[in-house]
Amino acid sequence: MATTTATQWSMVTGCVIGAAHEREGTTRQDAVRVHAHDDGATVVIAVADGAGSAPEGGTGAAAAAAAAVDAAIDAVTAGAPPIDAANRALDAALVAVERVAGERELGAFASTLAVAVITREETGAAVVGDSAVVVSATGALAVLTGDPSEYVNETTFLTSTNFDSARRAATIAGPIDGAAVFSDGLALLALDAPSGRPHAPFFTPLFDFAATGEPGAERDAALEAFLSSPRVRERTDDDVTLALVAWRGTDADG
């Protein structure tokens, strides 16, 4: 888990091990990184979910999330638009996982990855697998990269041979109020069935929570307590990861 505080964004992250992993004595396989660009008005989020069938999935997820954020920030700094930065992040994540794997079987490090690059002019997202990016703009919620539930039974990983053709990327113009990036462990709570649309009673209080108070370890701990609560654990025994950002600056600031 990592949280960075920017002047104009409030950011909160939570990443907790699932009950199934606890029963099996295995480690958490999700990873999350959030980082604010030096301009204070740009933020990058990466959430990776190691494949349950991959013995080194957690290692792959950690490498993917870290490399994705670094690559996206480099791209934004060089002037790339958010959608390009998000796509470059996915490509860099694969290279990082390949580097970590070395001579070992690449599939052992399989992981999904969702990246969001948010500016006041545009938000771009790129996803491989069944994690998701939800944005809030003037109170309206939308899954930025399509319905992840379509891919539940046919998840593609960064290490899959069809990774490039299976990636989903999208952009939305204009400023947003907030964004949430989450692993598929939260899908049953976060998305309405069968439409796949964001479940407003789930997201609205979470965005309100992210927008108020000072970000930091206590806020992250509060979010993790929610993710570990019976309300969540009754719906999923998978690892659950959620990164929230809410705008609290003014457009004159950034």
**What pLDDT, in 10s, does the model give residues 208-247?**
999 987 777 899 999 999 999 998 988 887 889 999 999 9
Nearest to 92 by CA among 57, 48, 27: 48
- Supply the pLDDT for residue 196: 84
Q: Are 239 and 17 in contact (CB under 8 A)?
A: yes
Confidence of residue 151 (pLDDT cuts 50, 70, 90): low
Confidence of residue 130 (pLDDT cuts 50, 70, 90): confident
Distance of CA 69 to the CA centre of its chain: 11
Nearest to 34 by CA among 6, 63, 75, 76: 6
Bridge partners of 246, per DSSP, are 10, 178
Q: Are 145 and 125 in contact (CB under 8 A)?
A: yes
3 state DSSP class of 25: coil
Instruction: Give the chain's domains with CATH numbers.
Output: 9-161+169-247 (3.60.40.10)
**What pLDDT, in 10s, does the model give residues 23-65?**
665 667 899 999 988 777 899 999 999 988 899 999 999 999 9
Name which residue leads in pLDDT, 144 or 19.
Answer: 144
CA distances from 78 to 36, 75, 86 (A): 15, 5, 13
Q: Are 236 and 24 in contact (CB under 8 A)?
A: no
